Each structure stands twice: as structure tokens, then as C-alpha cells.
Amino acid sequence: MSDARPIGVFDSGVGGLTVIAALTRILPHEDIVYFGDTARVPYGTKSKETVTRFSVENIEFLMRKNVKLVIVACNTASSLSLDFLKRCFRVPILGVIDPGAKCAVSSTRNNRVGIIGTSATISSGAYDKAIKKINPRISVFGQSCPLFVPLAEEGWFNKSFTKDIAAFYLKPLKDRMIDTLILGCTHYPLMRDVIQAVMGKNVLLVDSAKEVAKEARIILDSSGLLKESHGVGRHCFFVSDEPGRFVKTARLFLRKRITCARKAV
């Protein structure tokens, strides 16, 4: 069986492009439709009700593009709204929480796992619940890192102040002697080098974007929804606000220029 319909991905802004980068590596033949809600970013400071309403509207847009699978690339929306979204739509919907949690559980050696993310993601306890559902003996420690998002979008990875900010945020997790750290925001893979330098080489970093792409492949394969093609998939990008800044920032995430971003109507 083969299904040529695209994969749908949405995020509150540009961070979900790390999921696109991972999908491109793991499912290079698949077509993808991306929606970034740039007019209403960030989601991390909004209520559960507001995030859920926005998420429903985002999926409704993707459904009009005839997608076969929806990936909720936003950690905040995955934390607060995923169960409701799965009840609302018939298309398979995959969030970034469970794949990252599974990888962390299978990777930790001392049963001490850290999570960094937005304030909403950390306070929701979604990663904690997902991890303890698999292995209740694991100790989980969360830390919000709100400045990582603007630093990533500016491309300020090697600035001295970036390293200082990372050291400040991550010190409580180092003090907890974690051996595994979940990058619980789709912006954070761009900060991987500085985070690794602060945490040390013995701490494994779990990239939720990579893990959700791997999970998407499993779901599509088991459901007979993979696209049978040897060509490179087409990627279409839509945003809810002016696409100029999105195109500029996307180069940091995808390491290539995109020209087809359009404002959703």
C-alpha cells in the first residue's frame, strides 16, 4: 500500500522546523505541509483553553490540505491539548511528549532525568507523567529556560552571554546529577552544542524532534500510509502572519533557504 497524502505539522511559530528537519532525514520521500502560528506565538504563556482552541484551528487548516497524519510539534500544545485533539479528529495525531519520554526512559543509567522547556510545558508535568507511566522509579527534574527561544531564533549560539545563560539555567539540573536531559522545546536542538558543553559529555541529550520523526515513521509504516517513492518530498510552508521573518529564521533551522512560505487564508 502507498499513500501520497502529505504529513501535516504545526507549531506555534518556527520551532517546529526542527521536526521538519528530522522528518526530512528519516522520511525523505514524504510530502509535508507545515503551519506556523506566527501571529499568536508564543503558546507557552497562554492558558490551556486558549492553546487548545488555537490547536484545533491549526489542525482544521491542515485537514483542508488532506493530510494523513498530524504532528503537534509544539511541546506546549502537546502537553496541554493532545488528548482533546485526538478525540476531535479521526486522522492520527502525534505529539512530541511520549516519543521523547520513551527515549529518555530507555537511555537513563541512573534513573535521573532532566527536562528543559517552556514554563507551560514544565508546569504541566506532562513529561513527568509520561516517564513515570513507563517507569515510576525514575526521578524527573524540570527546568524552564525561556530565553533559549529568542537566543535560538537570533542564531546566537556561540555568544559568551548565551553560555552564561545556559550555565545559569542548567546548574540546578547538574546539581541533581541527571544523566539524561530531554530537550523539551523544538527550538532547543539548535542550542544543542552549548547545552552539551554545560552539562558535560556524560549527559545524554534527547532530541524530541528526532524522536517524534522516528515515531511518525513507525505509525505510517504499520498503518500502510507510507508514500512509495524514490523522489524527494515536497514541503509547503504556511504561517498566520507575514512570512518574511519566517523565511529568514527558517534558514537557521533547516540550513537551507525556503522560498515557498505563504500566509494562510
Question: For the chain, which domains are there?
Answer: 7-95+210-263 (3.40.50.1860), 98-208 (3.40.50.1860)
Asked if 16 and 34 count as a contact pair (C-beta separation under 8 A), the reply is yes
Dig out the grid coordinates for 81 from the structure.
491539548
Q: How far apart are CA 203 and CA 189, in angstroms?
A: 15
CB 140 within 8 A of CB 128: yes
User: What average pLDDT does this structure show over 110-133?
Assistant: 94
What's the pLDDT tens digit per position in 60-102? 999 999 999 999 999 999 999 999 999 999 999 999 999 999 9
Active site residues: 74, 185
pLDDT band at 45 (very low <50, low <70, confident <90, very high): confident
Q: Encode pLDDT of 204-220 as tens digits.
A: 999 999 999 999 999 99
- SS3 of 76-109: the string is HHHHHHHHHHHHHCCCCEEECHHHHHHHHHHHCC
Residue 31 has a pLDDT of 96
State percent of the chain over pLDDT 90. 82
CA dihedral 62, 65, 66, 72 (to 10 degrees): -20
